Structure 1
Amino acid sequence: MKRKVYKFWLYSYLFVLFIPILITLIVLLQSQEMLVKEVRRANDTLLDQVRQLVDNQITDIRRLGTQLSFDPKVMTYLNRETLDTAEARFGTMEMISSLQSYTIANGNITDAYIYLKNKDYGITTTTFMPADNLYSVLHKASGKSFAEWTEWLRASHAGLFVTLNEGAKQTENSLVYVQSLPIQEIKAAPATLVVLLNQDRLKQAISKVGLATESSVYILDGEGHPIMITGPQTGLAELPIPKMSNQRGFLTELVDGNDAAISYVKSDTTNWTYISVLPEQVYSAKVKLLKNLIYIAMLLCIGLGGLSAFWLTRRNYAPIQNMMNFVSTKVKTNMMNMPNEFAVLQSFMTDSAAIQDEASRKLLEQHQVLRNQFLARLLKGRVDMSSALPQAIESFDFRFETDRFAVLLLQIEDYERLFQANQEMDAERKLQFVYLIVTNIFEELLSAGHRSYFTEVDGMIACVVNVLGKEKEAKKELLKVANDAKRFIQDKFFVRFSVGVSDIHTFWSTLPKCYEEAVESLEYKLVLGSNQIISYESIKRPKNDLYYPLDTERQLINLMAAGNYDEAAAVLQRILITNFSEGTLSIQMGKLLMFELVGTMLKAVEQLQLSTKEIMVEKTDLIKQITECETFAEMEEEILDFLKKACDYLQQKKKSHNTDLKSQVVEHVLHNLNDMNISLTSISLAFDINPTYLSRFFKEQTGENLVDFVNKRRVEKVKSLLAETNHAIQDIAEQCGFASSQSLLRVFKKYEGITPGQYRQSWDGREALER
């Protein structure tokens, strides 16, 4: 077995040595092609820079013609009938100054002039002269006669670059730009703009781009005529111009009897073709140098790599042999079934790691469960506060750095929006996922200044905070963390919850007191409403005296008897504000106040002998709804609603007999049951009727409150869908006009006495019995 492993290692090292040698051979074979590609890429890049440089200059010059065409002063001057007046001469000076400023701004312009066709005069950057003088100064050496030059200027030009001395010896000013002025009246233009370009400056700029000094650059216009040539010039006849039909390309052709790399690109701006020609001998020398270097590298790899393979094989096998001596006897007995020592060691370590991982996993699970149970019992005061408590805390890995503690108690209230896309997940998994999100975010925010530990107590998340800072600052910080976490979780995950925050107390034995304070804080949701952060400090000194004098009660009853809802509601609001504004009213006194107000409402109904069926139903509903309210705000809303109905009933006893309107309202409601925005207000707007009158009218006609009518019809539709389909509760809620599954649950339970899920189960049970 030892010989097998030794040979295996030796062959492995030799194989590794063979890889760079093989790669070197491939590099050697591909080097020339790669270098050609690199030359092509470099030429293309540099040629693009040349094209961009020249195109930018050409664009600037064309912009000059456009600016002149739309310059009001220039157009006014060109349309003058005579140039002999003082005003015309002043305009001539302005034209000379404008041309001079344009020319100075662009270093590639040698000169520019405007030829006036009707006057046969020219305006240059320095003077105003007749056409024959202008020709003698600027174009006599161009190869064109004066007549040809004049005819050329009088023709229409849309703005193009031409070489005046094509076929003759090129001079500095052979390349010019010509454009009729103004460009928008090209056929009847009164003048022609001519710009003379400085080709030497352009060639110098091209030479700075970085193309090889041995290469030549050709610039051809759209018809294949040469615009400019730089570098060692070659006749155009040697270039394969017919093959350059694409937008850009690369060719390897014979030029002057030698192979050359030819790159070309066409400009979308000017329709010119830019060509770079680089002789092969420029880059073939680099290929020969690369081949020599590769041969030397291969010899070094074979010599040094072979010696290193033998030495490393002998050196690295020794530790493996030593490790085999520590393997148990039981494993060694199975060595005959193993291919080599590596398989033996792998089998041994795999089995050992699997046993250790399984043991660690079980211990961790048990430890976490026991830790959460211990923390929950500690918060509820069910742990012996003896001297053994510190050892128990340490055994569960609680690292308390100070003796100051506080408790945050989180009660999850709504999380259905988080799972709208995954309604099939069961409720328990949803809640676990929500707990994970909330605890992770709170732990992250608290970790900046405190230590925190979480557990579940009575369906709520309890967070024990070991306060590290000063007590006064820590209280503000805990409230800030709670607010930040609540806002982030609600915005990002649509989870609504309330938080009770205890005071900060000293030593472990006060943790039950912290928990009780957090629980008591959460109870004040009844006063403040859901989705709140309530600190014990803000509610620990509640008021226990109630303001509700007898004369105020009598005033409220009298206002109800008069049907004066506005004043009655104002009295009711004043009672509530007086009791809740100055300090925090205790829970017990708050409940007492609300039921006193309900008693007043019912007493008024009895005294006024409003014993009709409708009012009796409203009385029963008021008592039921008040007992189902979760906050004082909801109780206030129900009381005000009953007050409104009673006052409206007293003001409008006479029933309307407009049966057509009743039928239209009923039809409108039934047609729009799936609209979650349907309400008394929306219906009144649809029929252009006062909401109060519509509510009273509908109840007089049907004996039923409009809101109850809508909710009952929606519940009937829900019952039908629950019985006939397997749709999720959330989907049924949306189909029947409920804003959420919680709204459906509350309304369904109100009228049917059971939840939608229980109704579906009972329906399925009835069908099963019938079958």
Structure 2
Amino acid sequence: MKGFWRYWGKRKPKSIFRIFFLSYLVILLIPIMLGIISYRNSAVVLKEQMGVYNVSLLDQTRQVFDTYLYGVDQLMNNLSLDETILDFLHSKLPMSPRDQYAMSRAVRSLSTLMNTNDFISNLFVYCRGTDAVLTPTGKYTPELYFGQEASYMGTNVDEIVSSLQLFSYKTFRSAEGTGAAQNQRYLLYLNSLPLNQKNEPLGTAVVEIDMNKLEAFLQNADMLDQGAAYVIDGNGQTIFGVGDEKWLSGIDWNRADGKRFFFTRTNEGQNIIVSYSQSTLNNWKYVSVIPSDIVLKKVNYIKNWTIVITLVELALGGLLSVYLARRNYIPIKQLADKLKLKVQGNFSGLNNELAFIESAAEAAVGESAKMKGIFEMQRPVMRVTVLNRLLNANEVMVAGIKDSLGSLGIHFKGDIYAVLNIGIEHYRKSISPDTYEQQSIIRFVIVNAYEELLKGSYTAYGFETVGDELAVIVNMTETPPDYLESMYEISQQVKRFVEQKFHTLITIGIGGTHQGVEGLARSYGESKKSLEYRIVKGRGSITAFAELTDRPVPFYAFPVQTEASILQCVKAGDMEKVNELLNGMFLSDHGGASMTIEEAKCMFMHLVSTGLKVLGETIIDSNKVFGDNFQPVVKILSCTTVVEIQTTLHTIFGKICLYMAENKKSHNDELKEKIIEYIYDHTADTNLSLSSVAAFLHMNPSYLSHFFKQQTGENFIEFVNKTRLEKVKSLLRTSKLPLSDICSRTGFSSPATLIRVFKKLNGVTPGQYREGGFEPD
């Protein structure tokens, strides 16, 4: 074989032939290798499908067992909390008549609990104080019960009793009888009583589950298939199962930490597939084991045929590869021979004819043209970099940059400079935010539109700065009188064009004009500050720095009373008043276009805070008020301008007020009843007042007074006095209490106050009322 490859290596004139031949051979080997891989994967997939199928069966089995065991667990919980059983656990020898009665009640409770679950075979409670075993049928001594009724638990009664005196909490234990009781196999579920007493528990409740029934269920679960099935507890110990336990030897269940999984392993020289599903109820693992040979029987059959077909394909494919390689090699050889006669140069060391053809083609390209092309490609990037450095450069840096401007095609005609800053707010409709290429096109169009519109009167260069911001450097020989007007007009044209053609919104800031290249950084700072003013004028605005100058020192005040009034009016559902308060804030001396950036930021933060407070204090069902798709908090926090937050708050407060107004009637009736009930309950309290009721109901006193008058037709004081006088009249008619005692029972501060109020409202004094025995008109 080595001699064969040496022979092919020496055939340099026909090395391309070797490449063709190997290429066709590789093409031939690809489907063959795919077939082999497919075969191997089919075996793996079949194993996996068998594992998945077994896991699914185990899941069904686990669900059934979990349902049964959940019922057992619920029965144990009811037993552990049963008062009659817990009462008898405190009994001691000798038993009193009361203890006997408690025992009978406990036996009845066990009988009732036994009838609630058909899955269990029996249950009993060992009582430590009386050394007795309670069952649904009666009371037994340990010797009698464990010797006859439950002999499967062992032959040593003392050991059984000692184990039952230890603390157990939801513990499972298997028990298998011997001798005559060898067919008795149970799964015991133990719980010490009471649950909160770990040291020396008063007793232990035991539920017996017939293990033969459990194994019979596994036997009929259709998942053995010449294998085995087991149930393993959280400690890796086998609880019960069907089949030979040798399959489980050597498996570290602590590493099998998944809830459901399967894997393959070798056990005693035989490959097996182990599947398991873990219960979340008690961490038991339900395991099935199947020999791999059963699964791979059909796979081996496919394997034999795959080998035969592969050998046939190799033989036929080899012959076909030689034929195709020779047919394609001859034309290339002829072309290479012709090029050798016409192309001059040193092409020694080339391995084959194709390499010679490629080298000859590359030699025809001039090195200077290549370098020029590279420079031209990098020129736009280099120009943007230099212009960005100019915007942020100091005087020393500007001096070093000036010399490189000409080589990059940057030529300033005058010595007056200004900067326009364009912020792209968002891309709409057809432009995806994630499509960088489309966004780049829009930025390119904006820059070129400015350059074209400014051409003639000015020299302009546009470029990208940071994020979605662009800058345009405007150069002129002198500042024209209509500089700002022309910048506004050109900016409006670009803005309209971009909105109409690309559905994209832009905001523009215009910096002032400055002398020298050094003034670019200052004008750029002014344009950025103008761009920030969109928080006041809104997105899509055009602002010149001249608008921001000559303003007074910022002073801002946001009255707390205004915020409280808005909150109260929203709760009352008075949208007209809410609109009046909101509009008043924007029409004040600090609102509108006269606001400074600092004042606008303060107002913006206060409005956001007010909106969030109203949402927090109006406890309403958000879905009923706004619908499922409207999130008010997200809507408020997404606002970026004062105008946006104003519009958003109008919308949100309007919806809340409408909801409050629709539900106002039932709310008013409920509130009125609460006020009247509070007055009736506190009539004797001398401190009963409008303020105390308002504090109790967390309301504003003035609003409470207005509300009470509106709902009852009486003011608050009149209603309180009327209620107190009704109670005074009752005491005057039915008792001989002195006025001082009546005052203390009706909330009057003194007899004099009582007499004055009583006479004012009834025309007679309390004494005259009592002596006359009548109620005057």
User: TM-score by structure 2 length?
Assistant: 0.41
User: TM-score by structure 1 length?
Assistant: 0.41
